Amino acid sequence: MKATFYGRFVFGASAVLFGVIALMWRDSDTWQNLQHIWSLPSGAIIGACLMAAQIAGGIGIQHPRTARIASFVLCFVYLCFSLACIPDIIAAANIYDKYGGSFFLYFSLFCGSIALYAATEANAARAFVFGRVARLGLGVCAISFTLSQAVLLRATAHLVPKWIPPSQMFWTILTTTAFALAAIAILINREARLAMRMMTLMLALFGVLVWVPHLIAHAGAHFNWSECVLTFLITGAAWMVAESSFF
């Protein structure tokens, strides 16, 4: 299917780009919550290896012969990234992380990788289980996305381009509501595929309308690069789950 091919390309290309910029710019603006990895024994080496593995996985999922092992590699990488965000949840460093914002951001990538792995699984029963885990996991992530936007309503509204009518707050409330409705549909499995496809489209529009202009206007800001790439990574992950046939 073309949709699956394009989704896999977006997911893989974004994974490669994120790994590249992280290896190029070893700073907190690029790594964000993943900087906790540096505090581990040999953390710099571990972080570099994970980013290199992410690049290899992003390339590998594009080829049928290596897609299975590459999807497993990405599962491992994104699980590690998710766990690296737990200290911020425990410390509740800010209201975003209090509701697991960063954790579920990376966990959504883990769900996308599981969906990819399910697509390469020959055993139908196991593939169905993996696919269901990916769907339910993405549904929980959508709840986190809803809460994150709700508690940071004004900050989120500030990101909406002013030229889009009718107002910044209108689109912030609308997209927050859309995340909530998508979460419900995904978790109860009622029109779940449609909900995930619409959420994928919304995430893609976030990247194109919000972060790409920020990136063009302030190309030297590493945070803009990181946020832009992560947005498209989440888009690709949601796309992968949406196109999974194992619900």
Q: Give me the residue spans of the domains in the chain.
A: 2-242
Burial of 91 (0-12, 13-18, 19+ CB in 10 A): exposed
Distance of alpha carbon 96 from alpha carbon 80, whole angstroms = 20
* Residue-by-residue pLDDT tens, the chain, 247 positions: 555 778 999 999 999 999 999 999 999 999 998 999 999 999 999 999 999 999 999 999 999 999 999 999 999 999 999 999 888 887 766 666 666 678 999 999 999 999 999 999 888 899 999 999 999 999 999 999 999 899 889 989 999 999 999 999 999 999 999 999 999 999 999 999 999 999 999 999 999 999 999 999 999 999 999 999 999 999 999 999 998 866 5
Burial of 33 (0-12, 13-18, 19+ CB in 10 A): buried
